[in-house]
Amino acid sequence: MKPQYWFRWLSVQGAPRLALRLQARRGDPFAELMGGPTGCDDPYPLIERLRGHGRLLRTPIAWATFDYELCRSILRDTRFGVRTTESFNIPKPMQKLAERFPLPPNPVEPPSMLVIDPPEHTRMRKPVASAFTPRAIRRLRDRVETVTAELLNELPAGGSADLIASYAAQVPIAIISEMLGFPDEDKAMFLAWGDQMTPLLDVGIPWRAHRKALLAMEVMNDYLDRHIERLRREPGADILSSLVTAGELDSFALKATASLLMGAGFETTVNLIGNGVAQLLAHPDQLERLRAEPDLWPNAVEEILRFDSPVQTTARTALTDVEIDGVLVREGNTVVLSLAGANRDPAVFADPGRFDVGRGNAKDHLSFSSGIHVCLGGGLARMEGVYALQSLFEQFPDLRLGGVPSRRELFTLHGYQRLPVQLGRRAPAPEPSSV
């Protein structure tokens, strides 16, 4: 491990980690939400406590809001830009120390479109957007159906399984791998890299997690170098081949884009599927309603996204002095936007703590963000979620938990590490149509 990585962790993760831990010991609910296992496992009681402190509150490391209208307006406000880790009230000397130790291309640093503003953001996003249009998503439906059916056939009827490892993770990784032209046999590698690198989306992660993430980043960088060179010689029909042959992005930008698409195309959907299974098993009345009214499945996915958001938070930094709700937010200050809090705002969603697959405005959630940084793959994630969940519960009607599920100890991404189930009997295949 390169020694400069330790200095980088100290500057961008270690300092906020210390501040969060000190504040958590003093009983600060925001610090506990961002940095404690309680917040990762069940963040909603802490979110409701924080909501009671007002629409916009000052915390030790940033401003924060749990209010739907404030979150939505800030996401769409051009006076705010996307966050960088350095914007979380980290002292200037620590920021400069971090800048001395750049990382390989990755999803959480420029030129990844996740963390850049226009005009650079427009330049990076435009060539990728065509792969996620409604028409492009419709073309992927048959492949999603096929992948889902193959995975379900491999699950042992009458046996047990960890639905995250054997199903929820496998559906999106198969699709995004094909979209990027990756060989099928490399999927296990991508899953491991994703698991190791996603903590970088959090603030104040421990050194060990940071070290694993950077090691994975180095290995992935070498892999992408070889993969992109292969695509230069033998381009395919995938989106990464299109980006390579277009020649608009240099090698560094290509790798940053590929790593972002790989992570974003996987992480949201695996959490959506896992959270959906857990919520439907915890609310059998809602599952029965879906069996009686299968046309509600798309709306049920929206309610899962609202009720237990796979992405809990994002942040924006003021590009100029901005007055919000009567409070002056200075240029350079960061506002943490709780998407999970917005999605349970009682001013927008009636009885927000109730899981209701028939909720009329479920689709108004902010789980895919809003504004120019709205998630490119939102339509794909929705489609994958509908097929994966509906097919699972139709094929295994007696599905039940087979142990205690375990959450991932992450703040930004909210999902399960393990989801043990007893599958029960496999439903007989439907009779072929006589028409």
Distance (Å, rounded) from C-alpha 33 to C-alpha 45?
A: 10
Distance (Å, rounded) from C-alpha 173 to C-alpha 171?
A: 6
Count of positions (residues) in the chain: 435
Q: Which of 37-46, 239-248, 327-336 has the lowest mean pLDDT?
A: 37-46
CA-nearest of 120, 100, 75, 82 to 12 is 100
Q: What dihedral angle (degrees, nearest 10) is formed by the CA atoms of 154, 158, 159, 161?
A: 60
Which pTM does this prediction carry?
0.93
Per-residue pLDDT at 433: 44
Distance (Å, rounded) from C-alpha 78 to C-alpha 203?
A: 24
Q: Is the pLDDT of residue 90 over 60?
A: no
Helix (H) or strand (E) holding 49: helix 44-51
Strands (E), 226-350: 313-318, 322-324, 327-329, 334-338
The alpha carbon of 9 is separated from its chain's Cα centroid by a whole number of angstroms, namely 22
Distance (Å, rounded) from C-alpha 212 to C-alpha 218?
A: 10
Per-residue pLDDT at 28: 86
Per-residue pLDDT at 265: 82
Q: Is the pLDDT of residue 84 over 70?
A: no
Distance (Å, rounded) from C-alpha 352 to C-alpha 374?
A: 23
Tell me if 430 is assigned to some domain.
no
Q: Is the pLDDT of residue 164 over 80?
A: yes
Beta-bridged to residue 322, according to DSSP, are 329
DSSP notation for 410-427:
-SSB--EEE-EEE--PPP
**Contact residues for 30 (Cβ-Cβ < 8 A; gap 6+):** 23, 46, 50, 57, 59, 60, 64
As given in the structure block, the two tokens for residue 332 are 């350079």
Per-residue pLDDT at 85: 45
161-170, 211-220, 252-261, range with greatest mean pLDDT: 161-170
Domain coverage including residue 144:
3-422
Per-residue pLDDT at 40: 66
| CATH code, domain carrying 194 | 1.10.630.10
Please check whether residue 412 is in contact with residue 296, taking contact to mean a CB–CB distance below 8 angstroms: no
CB environment 275-292: b (16+ within 10 A), e (fewer): bbbbbbbebeebbebbee
Per-residue pLDDT at 18: 84
Tell me if 117 is assigned to some domain.
yes
Tell me if 44 is assigned to some domain.
yes
- How confident is the model over 77-88, as a mean pLDDT? 73
Q: Is the pLDDT of residue 43 over 90?
A: yes
pLDDT: which is higher, 383 or 5: 383
Distance (Å, rounded) from C-alpha 400 to C-alpha 398?
A: 6
- How confident is the model over 324-351, as a mean pLDDT? 96
Q: How many domains does the chain have?
A: 1
pLDDT in tens, 273-302: 999 999 999 999 999 999 999 999 999 999
Tell me if 428 is assigned to some domain.
no
Tell me if 432 is assigned to some domain.
no
Tell me if 435 is assigned to some domain.
no
189 burial level (CB within 10 Å; 0-12, 13-18, 19+): middle
Residue at 284: amino acid letter: P
- How does residue 434 score in pLDDT terms, banded at 50, 70 and 90? very low
